[in-house]
Amino acid sequence: MQVPHARGPLSAWVRDVLVGVDPGHAPDVPEDALTGNEDAQLALWMTYELHYRGFDDVSPDAEWDLGILALRRQLERRFEEQLRAVTASAEVPLDTDVGEVLLDLAQSADGPSIALRLQRDATVDQMRDYLSQRSIVQLKESDPHSFVLGRLDGAAKVALAELQYDEYGGGRPGRLHAALYAQALRAAGLDPQYGAYIEQASAVTLASVNVMSMFAFNRRLRGASMGHLAIFEATSSLPCRRISRGLERLGFPEDVRAYFDEHVEADAVHEHVVAHDICGCMVAAEPDLRDDVLFGALVCLHMDDLVACDFLQRWDSDLQVAS
């Protein structure tokens, strides 16, 4: 993957470091909300990507460039502060069993449903927009959580390993969930290459994957990472069924639907594994992590709403322009 083009001073600074141009002083991180700031989110995404697949013609040493790490810390601090502020007043069901609380939270999600729109009346272009934007997340599906595995122990570690085995294809490379997503992109006539749509990725799309990386790369936030994962899995099965039906309605080939069909069954099981076997066991072993598990869960619900609004606003403003 090539280093993406800059979208403002922060991403320009990171890009300059990566391509070997003298970047000068790092710009200040803005005070305003980072979630919708595409420059800040792209800069953060580039710093994280160095830990995943990296970029063509960029030295692997850039992963530990002190200037990049310093800017990332500032971006992360601001991003985390803002996520904590926005989720602070959320109501959390009262239950001593954290697994039940997580499943109740997922059940209570009442934001706009992008899946319902895709099922019922999205156009072919809107479905393709959805598939390409989500490729930023799904082509590295489960990779953030693999970084957390070494930070857990006992029953929670065993349960996460079991989940990852499933997500990584259960021993069959062709069934890797990220590979199923690449197959879906190819069958839809889109580019299946990792990072192919990074130049088109919206601020919210980038934020939705950055939050997973931030939780995974900071050991302190391991509870938030697993709480986020619990909601991610528990809000997947029904939407995947709806998206599959939307793909069928629009005449997309079977190979596009396979990824979503796989998740209808798999995530109905995974939600219980993550809520009870990972988060429940984690909190039983380390009770202090309970608040962060719930923080991660609330962040996932918040990001899901933002992602849905991001698509709906874009599509509905296209409609207004067209009419």
CB count in 10 Å sphere of residue 207: 27
The burial class, CB within 10 Å (0-12 / 13-18 / 19+), for 164 is middle
Residue 80 as a binder of Fe ion (CB under 5 A): the answer is no
Q: Using an 8 Å Cβ cutoff, are 278 and 237 in contact?
A: no
Q: Which runs of consecutive H residues, i.e. helices, occur in 9-123? A: 9-19, 38-49, 66-87, 98-107, 114-120
Q: Which of 270, 276, 290, 302 binds Fe ion (CB under 5 A)?
A: 270
**Residues in 131-170 that interact with Fe ion by CB under 5 A:** 167
- DSSP for 170-238 reads TT-GGG-HHHHHHHHHHHTTS--STTTTGGG--HHHHHHHHHHHHHHH-GGGHHHHHHHHHHHHHTTHH
Nearer to Fe ion among residue 163 and residue 299 (C-beta) = 163
Binding mask 273-302 for Fe ion (x = CB under 5 A): ------------------------------
177 binds Fe ion (CB under 5 A): yes
Task: Kindly report the number of other CB atoms within 10 A of residue 40's CB atom.
Answer: 28
**Window of 23-31, 85-93, 264-272, 288-296 that interacts with Fe ion by CB under 5 A:** 264-272
| Residue (78 or 145) nearer to Fe ion, CB | 145
Only one of the segments 86-94, 221-229, 265-273, 289-297 lies at the binding site for Fe ion (rule: CB under 5 A); that segment is 265-273
Whether 132 contacts 190, CB under 8 Å? yes
Alpha-carbon span 208 to 203, nearest angstrom: 9
User: 38 or 267: whose CB is closer to Fe ion?
Assistant: 267
**Residue 72 touching Fe ion (CB under 5 A):** no
* Closer residue to Fe ion, CB minimum distance, 49 or 267: 267
Residue 164 vs 218, nearer CB to Fe ion: 164
Of 38, 267, 277, 292, the one binding Fe ion (CB under 5 A) is: 267
Nearer to Fe ion, 50 or 137 (CB): 137
**C-beta nearest to Fe ion: residue:** 177
Site residues (CB under 5 A) for Fe ion, limited to 219-248: 233
- Residues of this chain that bind Fe ion (CB under 5 A): 167, 177, 233, 267, 270
